[in-house]
Amino acid sequence: MVLTDTHTHIYYETDTNKRAELIQRCLNKGISRLFLPNVDTASIPQVFSLTESYPQYCFPMLGLHPCEVKVNWENEFSLIANAYPTHKIVAIGEIGIDLYWDKSLLKQQQQAFHKQIKWAIALDLPIVIHCRDAFDEVYEILLAESNEKLRGIFHCFTGTFEQAEKIIALGFYLGIGGVVTYKNSGLDKIVQQIDLKNIVLETDSPYLTPVPYRGKPNESSYLSYIAQKIADLHQLDIEIVASITTENSKNIFGV
């Protein structure tokens, strides 16, 4: 069985021994494909350090996280873009719009999202979208930037079934994480209605820890609990969920 964590910040752990233990716990559970989005310039060396140490298991992305979009975001983006030619990456991410913490920089977030989508299209790479309290704003931009090369993952999807249908219609996959295991999230009822061909799995480690470890730091090895929950919702063996979602991840990232 091969499970794929399409979104993990496992690189936040910088202690070499602890990092090795995190990776080993993943491998012990069949989680052998880990996709790492950076968030800003400071996290670029962390991402590439881990992907260079474990090239057979870890794959890097590059992007400017919406929460890191400030007034001078173009300078930050230029530094991130300059890291691309010297490193192979599999996606642009995570990028998008986040209006949960601060609405005052919406215009800058929209500009950064537009620019990074154009970058992804130019490089023929998928995008990984961060969207929090901003579905309409994100969807509007995706429609505006519609292109046969525009594809990717709607990371940490927690929206409605109607929103899920809109995303799928654009050719994107839904990233399903620990929230699906939360008793009152309602996400379980939505995921139950969605064909597995439209889903990928993720942890967003160290955030959004699934049950039974909710309240503690998340890690990629906990992906197995997310996979099992989805298997239960669809009344399938976990091996089938692993196979379909991993194949979906290969379709997106090309690796």
225: its two tokens: 């609990």
Torsion sign (Cα): 141, 119, 68, 130: positive
pLDDT confidence of residue 168: 98
Q: Which domains does the chain have, with CATH numbers?
A: 3-253 (3.20.20.140)
List alpha helices for the chain, DSSP H. 16-28, 44-53, 73-82, 106-123, 135-144, 161-169, 187-191, 223-234, 238-253
Look up tokens 């995706």; give the residue: 142
Cβ 61 vs Cβ 38: under 8 Å: yes
pLDDT at 86: 86
pLDDT (0 to 100) of residue 237: 98
188-227 burial, b at 16+ Cβ within 10 Å, e below that, comes to bebbeebebebbbbbbbbbebbbeeebeeebbbbbbbbbb
Q: Among positive and negative, which fits the CA dihedral 204, 34, 49, 70? A: negative
Counting DSSP H helices and E strands in the chain, the numbers are 9, 8
User: How many other C-beta atoms can be found within 10 angstroms of the C-beta atom of residue 107?
Assistant: 9
The pLDDT of residue 85 is 86
Return d(Cα 193, Cα 233) in angstroms, integer. 9
pLDDT in single tens digits along all 255 residues of the chain: 999 999 999 999 999 999 999 999 999 999 999 999 999 999 999 999 999 999 999 999 999 999 999 999 999 999 999 998 888 999 999 999 999 988 999 999 999 999 999 999 999 999 999 999 999 999 999 999 999 999 999 999 999 999 999 999 999 999 999 999 999 999 999 999 999 999 999 999 999 999 999 999 999 999 999 999 999 999 999 999 999 999 999 999 999
